[in-house]
Structure 1
């Protein structure tokens, strides 16, 4: 969480004890901390039986706006200790001196484009529409190369589609590809003068918005020609027409092979952006492995940023997987994510999520007599197949890298291969909003931080459920992730209510093996039972009891009686500053833990450990 504190004038100190200005993707939010001694002011806000008075609301808005008149403050949260008393939304108003009519929040939106390769013009509009307005640019396969390296228009070029996209505010920037044909790619770069002329004419005649160059599998010998090709395009096309380049991911900094044909720095001088093809880490002909592991993707971004400004780096995300069956000679064939889902629904399978690679892997068994399913027109024969692919967790992990490195945005290969559920969360996560139900939470920033730390996740693709009850299974999972606990090599007695298919089975076994949690009886764990504040204090006490603590004061709560089973744990966790009580000097030990409370606690623990 980042924010700025300001000096409080004496005239305001009787009302406020502190306030904090925080920047987010929508502008700024202001947190006001009420002086606990001003009971009249606090009680007026705290009285939930009536609406806050108009005068008081106006005072809060006017005072807040006066502290930072040039900033777009959209929300004011009034706090009394750890209690959120009220949230006030300030209507957006343009600066009278500004000529910009665009809403402020839109200026921070990350860029998102996608390629259109599969399907026909009749399906393309529907594929764009199901992205829930997430795309700024769509890049259809309109431009190919012939044997001489000259421009060849494809049958997909469709004026109706172009017009429809323009009506919806989406740019159409087709890609030019040699489709991995080295000879065509080299010819094209050698004949680049003529190719530039033809492209400029085709873009103008067809009312297109630019060009994305996707010439692959050429060599370092063509590196300078490649740069000159992009330079000529930039010089010949109007400035409002896009010129972008799809470049090979190069996490290892290779200067040979096809990776060596891309001079990132020089291409970046003339291109609007470089679309990093951060996929095919494992590809056709390779041994089984992830299409795009987290480390591979992150190092690809890091390499790009050594040569190109962040605002010119676009991260490519794969909407496909690859599958292997060594016995049948299948080594890394491509497969749509929609087809992966179909196979998993039809055949016996085992799915694992590799935490090292942050990629899912499925092993499916197609038995004789199973219903046949075709992959790219060929029925999948009986046998065992290994599939590495992308799912919501792996895609979200990649989207978080966009914010981590503050790059321009993302591209994807290719539209129509993804499962439609992707668009439920894609735009939110791309713009680090993550969940639609946390804006009113007092712990919004804590939630975003703990999610970025990959310790907690949402209850659904778009909801975190901040006030939802934390269950015992959830607590076990969070603690295992936070402290990176590994299962001890010992036999764990099975709980009758935690079958092998339970989503938290592995984490529950791990936390029990460490003696941090135990069942509520010999054979029952009660994974869905709520966890109380004192129970969580005890769990943290068990985890941290061997670690040194620094006293920050005394811990005395009116509702934690002497001799209570959790007294020592509550006392120690309060002394370390991990737990805090309520303004009325209570701890409320039997109160169920909320998910937003857990997010806050775990951030405090991890901050101290760091």
Structure 2
């Protein structure tokens, strides 16, 4: 458990005060929304579903996404800009949630239209800049695909024009095709990774469509080897902080009808088909991809995809699930990439957001996926303030120990390492190899926390609510205000912690429970500590 803060930035008394501006309430029905820490960047395209559902689509992802990219911009047959209806209410709602709206410009994979737009780039760029500014949009994501490689320099010039004409605060990003072999031929070669990165905020690497519509051989949408090779090549051209890994929220199916080879299916639809037709699944370890098969018989329920009835027969589906997506998300940390992008929102399964940001940020806490404090724990972990008890466990419901509390206080005040040669002889129960030995002694030296006796610290003893209140009220030199001090039925006026609890309560730092109790001897859990840290983060970072 770590907290890193510069003492120069945190004056001791002020820092402690802000550190403990919290509501110590253990009621599981009270789940404060986490203040997102600066983790890995995450964006997602928006293409499917009614625009009226866009807000709810985003809300399902919680605090995960930084940028949403709706398909507001397309191209006419002559290469001029075509704009869909831009929703000001959606933009406003996203801004209220702290998310940017960066629409993408698509040529819908039409080669001639894309090339005409690039040839006509001065006019298209002018239209885009005007639309972005007049609609309070946050930038543009360029997604022109399937143009000839001879347009490579012209396309880079188009992006450069956008960057030069838009304010620096407006995002300019580019979706680029994967190029795992570094080929210089075909439409994949139309992307000058190095040149585009120099004139944009980041490249969104479309590390999918390894198998594609019309592909006669069933195979993965994005095998792990394909994705990793694509990343490695890209990093020979651009720095990791300029590269966003694109991940698919869809699969592809094959059956006896060659017209349907490689047709796309949302992950939601895949799961529904497997369930409806009692399909079988296996996990292909070589590609790190799941594969499903099912058969539609004459007596079975009819299913339509995009208005088209699925034919009778046996289907093979390559798709993504939790295991395969986690394997891809781990690559973000492995290569220290800027973050992730996804195609596309509203195709993922509901449980995707239980783990997405944890794995993308490099914290593989399986016990946090559905925990009420997931956001707070992720925020604390991203700031380096709290780590897990193991590589895959955070132990959110374990009680916070005195050793952990000492470490947190020391790190919060930037006192770590100031006393490298402290003698721990004062505490017989803190050995020379105890993990928190130095922090405990630094905390004692600075009067943050003392032992339970002259020679015992009790490092594994839990911190109770009244102990936290007493410690903080003493450090903050708080006095209770009779007008606002809460009266708790289980805190007698003569108890040793009553004054401290009253002081903390009257200063708005702690609260009790709905039944009028404070539960002074109840322990503080690690999840609650993370929530505490999340709540005070805006004040700590001012």
**TM-score (norm. length: structure 1):** 0.57
Aligned to 2:59: 129
1:281-292 correspondence runs (5 A): 281-286=210-215, 287-292=217-222
What are the Cα deviations for residues 437-461 of structure 1, in whole angstroms up to 9, with x where unaligned? 4789xx976842xx6xxxxxx8xxx
Say whether residues 1:322 and 2:239 are aligned partners: no
Conservation of the 8 A alpha-carbon contact between 1:437 and 1:466: no
Aligned to 1:246: 175
Summarize the Cα distance change of 1:325–1:267 in structure 2 as closer, same or farther, 3 Å threshold: same
Aligned to 2:194: 265
Other structure's SS at 2:161 match:
helix
Say whether residues 1:162 and 2:102 are aligned partners: no
Conservation of the 8 A alpha-carbon contact between 2:148 and 2:187: yes
Conservation of the 8 A alpha-carbon contact between 1:284 and 1:334: yes
Say whether residues 1:221 and 2:150 are aligned partners: yes
Conservation of the 8 A alpha-carbon contact between 1:275 and 1:315: yes
In structure 2, what is the Cα distance between the partners aligned to 1:330 and 1:159? 38
Work out which of the residue numbers 130, 136, 155 in structure 2 matches 1:201. 130
Conservation of the 8 A alpha-carbon contact between 1:214 and 1:245: yes
**TM-score (norm. length: structure 2):** 0.64
In structure 1, what is the Cα distance between the partners aligned to 2:124 and 2:202? 21
What are the Cα deviations for residues 552-603 of structure 1, in whole angstroms up to 9, with x where unaligned? xxxxxxxxxxxxxxxxxxxxxxxxxxxxxxxxxxxxxxxxxxxxxxxxxxxx
Aligned to 2:48: 118
1:38-437 correspondence runs (5 A): 69=7, 108-155=38-85, 157-286=86-215, 287-327=217-257, 329-435=259-365, 437=367
Name the structure with the higher strand share.
1
What are the Cα deviations for residues 318-351 of structure 1, in whole angstroms up to 9, with x where unaligned? 0110000035642100111111011011102110
Other structure's SS at 1:348 match:
coil
Alpha-carbon deviation of 1:71?
Answer: 10
Conservation of the 8 A alpha-carbon contact between 2:221 and 2:252: yes
In structure 2, what is the Cα distance between the partners aligned to 1:436 and 1:320? 24
Summarize the Cα distance change of 1:217–1:119 in structure 2 as closer, same or farther, 3 Å threshold: same
In structure 2, what is the Cα distance between the partners aligned to 1:170 and 1:436? 27
Conservation of the 8 A alpha-carbon contact between 2:365 and 2:388: no
Conservation of the 8 A alpha-carbon contact between 1:403 and 1:430: yes
Other structure's SS at 1:285 match:
coil
In structure 1, what is the Cα distance between the partners aligned to 2:396 and 2:252? 31
Cα RMSD for the two superposed structures: 3.0
Q: Highest relative contact order (Cα 8 Å, sep 6+), 1 or 2?
A: 2
In structure 2, what is the Cα distance between the partners aligned to 1:116 and 1:381? 29
Alpha-carbon deviation of 1:466?
Answer: 10
Conservation of the 8 A alpha-carbon contact between 2:214 and 2:259: no
In structure 1, what is the Cα distance between the partners aligned to 2:348 and 2:59? 13
What are the Cα deviations for residues 369-410 of structure 1, in whole angstroms up to 9, with x where unaligned? 111111111122221000000000001111110000110000
What are the Cα deviations for residues 494-541 of structure 1, in whole angstroms up to 9, with x where unaligned? xxxxxxxxxxxxxxxxxxxxxxxxxxxxxxxxxxxxxxxxxxxxxxxx
In structure 1, what is the Cα distance between the partners aligned to 2:248 and 2:397? 29
Alpha-carbon deviation of 1:433?
Answer: 2.0
Alpha-carbon deviation of 1:92?
Answer: 7.0
Other structure's SS at 2:117 match:
helix
Conservation of the 8 A alpha-carbon contact between 2:252 and 2:264: yes
Conservation of the 8 A alpha-carbon contact between 1:436 and 1:463: no
In structure 2, what is the Cα distance between the partners aligned to 1:92 and 1:298? 43
1:464-543 correspondence runs (5 A): none
Summarize the Cα distance change of 1:293–1:446 in structure 2 as closer, same or farther, 3 Å threshold: farther
Summarize the Cα distance change of 1:174–1:182 in structure 2 as closer, same or farther, 3 Å threshold: same
Conservation of the 8 A alpha-carbon contact between 1:110 and 1:409: yes
Conservation of the 8 A alpha-carbon contact between 2:36 and 2:63: no
